[in-house]
Structure 1
Amino acid sequence: MSKFKTIDTFFKRKDQENEDASTITTPILEGSSNFITSSSSLNSSKRPRLLPNQLDVFRLERDPGMRPMIWKFPPNKRDEIRRAYIKVGPNQPILDNYPFSGDKSHRRFQASWFKLFPSWLEYSIEDDAIYCFPCFLFAKEPSINTGSNAFIENGFRNWKKVNSGKECALLNHIGKEDMMKAKVQATELKFLGSYNERVKQNVLENAPKNAKYTSNDVQKEILHILATKVRNSIREEIGDAKFCIIVDEARDESKKEQMAIVLRFVTLDGFVKERFFDLVHVTDTCATTLKKELISVLSHYNLQVENIRGKGYDGASNMRGEWNGLQALFLKDSPQAYYVHCFAHRLQLALVAASREVLQIHEFFTQLNSIVTIVSASSKRHDQLQEAQAIENANLVAQNELETGKGANQISTLQRAGDTRWSSHFNSICSLVKMFTATNIVLNNIIEDGTTYAQRGEAYGVSKILLSFEFVFTLHLMKEIMGITNVLCQALQQQSQDILNAMHIVSTSKLLLQQLRDGGWCNFFANVKDFCEKHEIEVPNMSAQYVFGRGRSRQPSVTVEHHYRIDVFLATIDSQIQELNSRFNEQTIELLTLSCALDPKDNFKSFNIEEISKLAEKFYPLDFPSNELNILKSQLQHYQHDIPNHLKGIGTISELCNKL
């Protein structure tokens, strides 16, 4: 039986081969790790690297400057050589003094660097250079790039680039970002372990063998497995039921287009569920690409397109287009997959479209924002605005032009318009109309007392705009239009929406806008004229020729009245009506109006057998053939009589589904 080999026997030199095997010693080798010697033991001249045939697994050279490169060993011996080196780890000799470099920097290697990088850093006494232990073990071929071989074959000895902050060569070699990510991941795992004992027993230092779970690839694979399990669970919940899809696309931080998919369905137990299903990267946002990726996800989980009964997208043309949009492409495959968009968002888009289509309206909101910004730029100007407003209110009360009472005539301020809520634009317009005189006073104060010429110049510019007929005309026009649509805007933004009431407000909003267009010009212009006379603003001669542009860009001659009545007043109202008709089309309104017949609120007050039958016959003919429609009417009659006995106190369709 052969004697048990110690680690030292793997590093015997050739001159020890013939020693007596019975007297095994532990020699301190020149290339062994973690020994202490003086700088005098360093060789003055570098020896050439050994050849692979001079070594085997029982006689390995530890010094990284002397050992052969791993790719020079025979392929059938490399794994055995690697295992032998891995057993003893990186070569890290501790010396009393390391030699200084020969350049002007006069620096040298520091043993403390071993503590900073204990798992990979190696030092060669022969070369007075450092190497990377894993790079040596797993390098395949020498690189043409000299810098890439520095830590593998040539050795790195430019000490001034070590510990040089962000440009530290050692940190750059392992990757600073990877190092930081590893620290963050370790911290996260420790945090999770503090909440869950089972996690704590299987991560970091408690993990079995090398299963640290800190690798990006491993973590992504775990997340992929979990996501697949969640999606399979959602698929089981849906079963064979009909479902709706909600899709939106956006660009993430890495500038990639992502498509989010949400599924809405009713479970077998009658619960309405809405589940985030997937996030898919798309190459572009055209309708055909979105449809292809969406169908790919649905088909992967065996969700049939024919079972889609509703779709919700944003208002972009690639989503809602009637001819080539995503909703149109899906209607070809599933005629009962009706498109319904968020109504509050629809109204927002409709009103924004008006400001984009009519240039004067677009310019007006830019000017309005400038006025509010300048007047509200500091607390001093804010105080001046409120003081001017208080004086104006007192004068109006003295002239019996302003009523008094509890809570009336409170001092307010100009409101800034927000991009996400169109009602804030209406509030901003109303506040400026109310504080028009006070705003003008503050602007005059800035013109006279501004600390810099820039402040005085800006105030002078917006003051001219404020007192122009064009601005006042547009101010009152948008106040009139948005006063009509503001009621609808508020109704659609309520947390609990009354769909039937909202549909009625949509219809009345269209009607009021049409009435304003057909017969509201005279009264509107009279109000604008009175406002201008009150604030001493010059009203142009409406019969005069309107001049816009110069030279070749000059527009055809029209009267001033034609410009303001046709090009601004009617064009703005027409754009509003057109957008409302487009986004609140008759099919969608009828679908939702008929659906309200199922609303159980107020003890099924809206229940209507004829409307429910019409809903099934007109919008879902594939789900209700003609023979089933007759049966449906009879069942609804029985259902109507059972309501008082079995379905009391139900307020929502979701509760009704659960009860049934």
Structure 2
Amino acid sequence: MFSVQIDTIQDITSQDQCAVVLRYVTDVIHERLVAVVNCERTTGEYFVQILKNVLEKLELDVSNSSGKATNGASNMQGHYKGFSAFLSSHSPNQVHVWCYAHVLNLVLAETTGAVIASASLFNLLNDIAVFIREPDKRMIIWVNLNKTSRHQRLSPIGETRWWAKDNALKKLFGNFGKPDNARYTDVLLTLATIQEHETMEADVRSKVKAYIESLLKYETILTAQIFLRIFEPTTPLSKYLQTNRMIILSAYRMVVTTEESLDKINRDFGGIKVANEQLEDEENADLELEVQAELPLKRVRKRKTMPGEKAYDERLNDAERAYEVEEQQY
């Protein structure tokens, strides 16, 4: 008896490659990558044929497959023409599992782009990381101004690795409520030095000015603290779900524990503000630049009242409360 995991990815020549993994148990749990096959098509029926060919070479019977795990795409779990449907005709009793690491990835990817504040934050982190590390001149400034002997590079955010957002966030802002190892000051000092460097082009200095203004915003730091707190329980869970020899019962318990942790921190805006103030106190002592201390008041746009209309929209005049409502409704 064994279970099957199957997924595709493009290689450097943009050709789809199908990876076939078998999971089985002896005295311990085993996971083995048994084949990587070039894909000519991506239909469910074609993937079943690939699997059958691979198993035949290994002298294994496809009917002994007790389960399968996929990424949940339509060509994988479609009821009529999906990989699961065709494979079930050869092994009717097998159980289909939608990869929970992939589900978690989809949820967190959607969360980080749900509102403008969060999408802007992660775009800013990626842009600054790429900006500093590209030419040697900027990287030299970063290394020279770095306070520690370890010249940590900032992490760009990859499209396929959502945990890169957690990594990039922690490098810049530290851990939630513990900004001791944050690189926030180092980044701002580096950007300020680049801006004042007379040999830098005008468009580069203009871009740096925009980066500094964004980093000093109260909204940026507040949004960073929210996601640092979200990533605290979800990152360990995601990493465990992607390990080999994963124990299903342990994974289930971690999922339950993570849900309970997220429920506890839900709407705890006060705790977020405390962590935000800790970072501000830590960094303001080392900075000549002033970090914004509160959210700016936004001008309330008046809506034209139609003839006979008596109802009025309730508008929040408190900038902090408006931010809390906008962020937490997602």
Q: Does 1:430 align with 2:170?
A: yes
1:615-640 CA-to-partner distances (Å, cap 9, x unmatched) read xxxxxxxxxxxxxxxxxxxxxxxxxx
Instruction: Report the Cα offset of residue 488 of structure 1.
Output: 2.3
**C-alpha separation in 2, matches of 1:271 and 1:461:** 52
In the other structure, the counterpart of 2:128 is 371
> Contact between 2:30 and 2:245, CA under 8 Å: does it hold in 1?
no
Secondary structure (helix, strand or coil) at the match of 2:261 reads helix
1:463 has 2:212 as partner: yes
CA distance in 2, matches of 1:342, 1:498: 14
Q: Pick 1 or 2: higher relative contact order, CA cutoff 8 A, min separation 6.
A: 2
Change (3 A) 1:495 1:412: farther
Distance (Å, rounded) in 2 between the aligned partners of 1:478 and 1:501: 25
1:301-338 superposed Cα distances (whole Å, 9 cap, x missing partner) = 69876543111223535435689854466558755322
Pick aligned residue for 1:523 from 248, 255, 271: 271
Partners of 1:282 and 1:330 in 2: how far apart?
Answer: 19
Could you say which residue in structure 2 is the equivalent of 1:354?
111
Please tell me whether the aligned partners of residues 30 and 244 of structure 2 are also in contact (alpha carbons under 8 angstroms): no
Return closer, same or farther for 1:536/1:257 CA change in 2, 3 Å cut-off: closer
1:442 and 2:226 matched: no
Count of aligned residue pairs for this structure pair: 296
Q: Could you give the per-residue CA deviations for residues 551-602 of structure 1, whole angstroms, max 9, x where no partner exists?
A: xxxxx8853445422332341xxxxxxxxxxxxxxxxxxxxxxxxxxxxxxx
Instruction: Specify the SS of the correspondent of 1:413.
Output: coil
* Match 2:225 to one of 476, 482, 502: 476
Deviation at 1:248, TM superposition (A): 2.4
| Conserved 8 A contact 1:280-1:293 | no
Q: Distance in 1 between matches of 2:13 and 2:146?
A: 50
- Would the aligned equivalents of 1:546 and 1:557 in 2 still touch at CA under 8 Å? no
Structure 2 distance, partners of 1:475, 1:271, is 38
Q: Is the 8 A contact 2:45 2:81 kept in 1?
A: no
The equivalent residue for 2:325 is 566
User: Residue 485 of structure 1: which of 234, 242, 259 is its match?
Assistant: 234
Matched ranges for 1:125-164 at <5 A: none
* Counterparts of 2:240 and 2:256, CA distance in 1: 13
Take 1:260 and 1:495, find their aligned partners in 2: how far apart are those partners? 15
Structure 2 residue 7 is the aligned partner of structure 1 residue 248? yes
Q: C-alpha separation between the residues in 1 aligned to 2:231 and 2:31?
A: 36
What TM-score results when the alignment is normalised by the length of structure 1? Answer: 0.37
1:470-521 CA-to-partner distances (Å, cap 9, x unmatched) read 322222122111122233244445565455444322221111112111x412
1:149-188 correspondence to structure 2 within 5 Å: none
State the alpha-carbon separation in 1 of the partners of residues 102 and 195 from structure 2: 41
> Partners in 2 of 1:424 and 1:437 — Cα distance?
21
**Aligned-partner Cα distance in 1 for 2:130–2:260:** 36
Shift of 1:345: 5.2
Give me the whole-angstrom Cα distance separating, in 1, the residues matched to 2:88 and 2:193. 61
Aligned 8 A contact 2:24 2:31 in 1: yes
Change (3 A) 1:358 1:280: same
Q: Which SS does the other structure have where 1:370 is aligned?
A: helix
Name the aligned partner's letter for residue 328 of structure 2.
F
Written as runs of structure 1 = structure 2, the 5 A alignment for 1:220-231 is none
Cα RMSD (Å): 4.3
**1:415 Cα shift?**
2.5
How high is the TM-score relative to the length of structure 2?
0.68
Compare 434-443 and 310-319 and name the one that shifted more: 310-319
1:278-289 to 2 correspondences below 5 Å = 279=37, 281-283=39-41, 285=42, 289=43
1:294 and 2:294 matched: no
- Kept in 2: contact 1:311–1:338 (CA 8 A): yes
Tell me if the contact between 2:240 and 2:251 (Cα under 8 Å) persists in the aligned partners.
yes
Show the counterpart of 1:336: 93
Alignment partners' CA distance in 2, 1:271 and 1:564: 47
- Mapped contact 1:295–1:305 kept (Cα < 8 A): no
> Deviation string for 1:136-170 (max 9, x for gaps)?
xxxxxxxxxxxxxxxxxxxxxxxxxxxxxxxxxxx
Partner of 1:537: 292
Report the AA paired with residue 119 of structure 2. H
Query: Deviations for 1:191-228, whole angstroms, at most 9, x for unmatched residues?
Result: xxxxxxxxxxxxxxxxxxxxxxxxxxxxxxxxxxxxxx
Aligned equivalent of 2:304: none
Residue 272 and residue 449 in structure 1: after superposition, are their counterparts in 2 closer, same or farther (change >3 A)?
closer
In the alignment, the residues of structure 2 paired with residue 272 and residue 528 of structure 1 have an alpha-carbon distance, to the nearest angstrom, of 44
Change (3 A) 1:566 1:335: farther
Q: Structure 1 stretches of 5 or more lacking a match?
A: 1-241, 391-408, 548-555, 572-660
Unaligned runs of 5+ in 2: 174-181, 285-289, 302-312
Query: What one-letter code is carried by the residue in structure 1 that aligns with 2:44?
Result: L
Closer/same/farther in 2, CA of residues 410 and 251 from structure 1, 3 Å limit: closer
Residue of structure 1 equivalent to 2:176: none
SS across alignment from 1:506: helix
Which residue number in structure 1 is paired with residue 261 of structure 2? 512
Q: How far, CA to CA, are the matches of 2:278 and 2:153 in structure 1?
A: 23
The structure-2 alpha-carbon separation of the partners of 1:324 and 1:460, relative to structure 1 and needing over 3 Å to count, comes to farther
Q: Percent identity?
A: 23
Aligned to 2:310: none
- Give me the whole-angstrom Cα distance separating, in 2, the residues matched to 1:324 and 1:492: 28
Name the aligned partner's letter for residue 225 of structure 2: H
Q: How does 1:487-502 map to 2 (within 5 A)?
A: 487-492=236-241, 497-502=246-251
**Partner amino acid for 2:326?**
D
Q: Does 1:416 align with 2:155?
A: yes
**Alpha-carbon distance, 1:370 to partner:** 1.4
* Whole-angstrom distance in 1 between the partners of 2:78 and 2:106: 14
